[in-house]
Amino acid sequence: MKKIIITLSLSVFSLGLTNILYGQVDSKILNWYNGTGAGMHTEKAYKKLKKRSSSTVIVAVIDSGIDIEHKDLEGKIWTNTKEVAGNGIDDDKNGYVDDIHGWNYLGNAKGENVNQATLEKTRILRDLSKKFDGIDPTTLSAAESKEYELYQKVKADVEGEVANYNQYKAQMEMLPTIMKQVPTMVGSILGKTDYTEKDLVKWDPKTEDQIQLKGLALAMVKGQLSLEMIEEQAHSINDLLDYSLNLNFNEREIIGDNPKDFSDVHYGNNNVEGPDALHGTHVGGIIGAKRGNNLGGDGVAENVLLMALRAVPNGDENDKDIALAVRYAVDNGAKVINMSFGKAYSPNQKEVFEAFKYADSKGVLLVHAAGNDAANVDTDPNFPTSLYSFQTQKLDLFLTIGASTQNAKGNLAADFSNYGQTKVDIFAPGYEIYNSVPQSEYKILQGTSMAAPMISGVAALLASYFPALTMNEIKDAMLKSATSYKGTKQSKPGSEEKVDFGTLSVTGGVVNVKSAVAMCLEMEAAKAKK
C-alpha cells in the first residue's frame, strides 16, 4: 500500500501516517538528496565519471502508474520495440497486447481501471467471515483453530481501524471551523491578530487549551496546516472507510480475474498511467528525471529508461499482480526493480518469493521500501520481505531501504521510517523529496517510498557506468561504501529515545554515490588485472 496522508503535528488530530507536503519548494530542499552532508553526494560522483561513457539501464517501477508524458521524463520511458503500437496484436507473443511501455495489472480489456482497493486484512476477513461468523470455536479442529485465530485478529484490526477513522473523520469535519476562529482567539491573548511566527514562539501558554491553540496557530503560520490539507486528509479518510476497510467492496470484479489463481494471467491493459499516478510518477522522477534542466528535482540516474508496471492501487497490492509484474520486468530486460509498497499480510507468499527467486537467478536487483509505520521489521511483518519464514537465507539481490533526513545530528532516521538491524539493509534520503507528479507538476513527498528509488537510481547509475560488474557486485559496493553513522545517537523512529544508528539497519549507514563509484572503480581495476 502507498500511504500519502498528511501528518498533523497536533496530538489530538494526529493520524500517524506518511506526509505529503504542498507549497513552494525551499532552496534547502531542492535536490538536497543529491548533495553533500547527509545527502548521497551524487553530484560529486558524476564529476568522477565525467570522462566515462555510459550504457542505458532499464529500471522497472512497480507502482501506481507513471505519467509517461511528464516533461521531466521525456526520453526516459522504456518502449517495447518488439510491439507495434495500437494494432491490437500481441506482436512479441508475451501474452500482453500492445504493451508498449509496460503493463497495467489493475484494469481490464475494456479500458476500465481500478484506483481504490481493499486492504489485504479486509480481504482475509471477508473470506474467513463466511466460514467463522457465529461459529462455536470449541467445535473446530486444530487446523481450523489456527485459521480462526487469524480471523479473530483481522476482525479486531479492521473493526478497530473503522472506529478510529470514524473518530478522525468527525475531527476533520470540526477542524476548518476551529481554524477560522484561531486568529481571533490568539489575537485576544496576544493583543493582535497580525501575529508572526516569532510572536507565537515567544508566547508562553498557561493552560492545556492554550497549548493546543498555540500548536494550531504555529502550524497554520508555518504552512504546515491549511484548509487544502484538511480537505486532502478528509478525502483519504473517506477512501479508507468506503473502500480499504469495506468488506462489501471488491475491486477484482472490475479486473475480472481470479486473484488466487496464478495461472489466470490474461487480464489488465496497457494504460500504464491509470487514474492516479502521483506516487509512481514521483518515484520514477527520483530514479530518472532529467538532470540539470532546472525543472523540479534531478533524477539520480542519467542514462536510464523507466518501465511502468501498474500494480499498486489506493489500498493493498495483490500478491498475484506483484509476482506477475516482477516476472514481466525480468523477461523484458529490467536490471533493477523498484518496489515502493508494502502490507502487513501476504496470503500468497510462496508465489511472490518464487518470482523474486526468478529475478535473483537472472541477476536483477529488487529494491523494496521498508515501510512507514516506525516499526521494527525484524519482528513486525511487512510484505514483501527479504526473508520469509520458509526461507533459509536471504536472496542475493534483494535490498530493503529505510528513509533518512538531512539532519544527521540526532534525527537522521525519518520519524515514520521502519527499521531493523537484520532486515533493513541501508538508509537513503526519503524526507522532504521534491520531484515529479502528474501533469508535468512537482511536489514534496516523503516516505520510504521515496528512499527506495534513491537506491534504485544509484544501482542503475553504477550499472550504466560499470557494465563489467555484476548487480551483486554493485549491490555490495553500495552497502560497503555507505556513509557509516554507527556509534552516533539518533532518534529511534516513532519515539524520542536515542539509539545507536547502527542498530537500525544492517549497514548502519546512508548510501553514498561518490564512495560507491570509487569502490566500483577499484573493483573494475581488480577485474581487469585478472
pLDDT more than 90, % of the chain: 89
**Which range is least confidently modeled, 226-230, 303-307, 348-352?**
226-230
Phi/psi at 224 (5° precision): -85, -10
Helix, strand, coil % over all residues of the chain, rounded to 5: 40, 15, 50
d(CA 236, CA 32): 29
Domain check: are 93 and 198 in the same one? no
Q: Express each pLDDT in 320-336 by its tens digit.
A: 999 999 999 999 999 99
In the 8-state DSSP scheme, what is residue 415?
A: T
Domain check: are 70 and 178 in the same one? no
Cell readout for 266 is 490474461
Q: What does the mean pLDDT of the chain come to?
A: 94
Domain check: are 309 and 427 in the same one? yes
Domain check: are 366 and 491 in the same one? yes
Cell readout for 156 is 479486531
Residue 4 lies in a domain: no
Residue 11 lies in a domain: no
Residue 470 lies in a domain: yes
Q: Which of 219, 244, 269 is the last residue of a domain?
A: 244
Both ends of the chain: CA-CA distance in Å?
46
Cell readout for 181 is 476562529
Residue 232 lies in a domain: yes
Q: Is the peptide bond before 137 cis (omega within 30 degrees of 0)?
A: no
The CATH number for 295's domain is 3.40.50.200
pLDDT of 4 above 70: no
Pairing assessment for the beta strands 441-445 and 433-437 based on DSSP bridges: antiparallel
Domain check: are 296 and 366 in the same one? yes
528, containing H or E segment: helix 513-529
Domain check: are 66 and 143 in the same one? no
Residue 107 lies in a domain: yes
Residue 74 lies in a domain: yes
Give the rounded distance of the alpha carbon of 233 from its chain centre: 18
Q: What is the pTM of this model?
A: 0.92
Closest C-alpha to 287, from 454, 68, 450: 454
Domain check: are 507 and 437 in the same one? yes
Domain check: are 499 and 382 in the same one? yes
Number of alpha carbons in the 13 Å side-chain half-sphere of residue 11: 4
Q: Express each pLDDT in 30-50 by its tens digit.
A: 999 999 999 999 999 999 999
Domain count, the chain: 2
Phi/psi at 359 (5° precision): -60, -45
Closest C-alpha to 183, from 172, 197, 198, 194: 194
Residue 10 lies in a domain: no
To 5 degrees, how large is the angle CA 206–CA 209–CA 214? 75
Residue 39 lies in a domain: yes
Domain check: are 233 and 306 in the same one? no
d(CA 70, CA 8): 30
Which pLDDT score is estimated for 291?
A: 97
Residue numbers of the domain that contains 195: 120-244
Q: Express each pLDDT in 509-528 by its tens digit.
A: 999 999 999 999 999 999 98
Which pLDDT score is estimated for 336?
A: 98
pLDDT: which is higher, 24 or 352 = 352
d(CA 370, CA 416): 10
pLDDT more than 70, % of the chain: 95
Domain check: are 199 and 173 in the same one? yes
d(CA 278, CA 436): 8
Domain check: are 485 and 403 in the same one? yes
Domain check: are 316 and 449 in the same one? yes
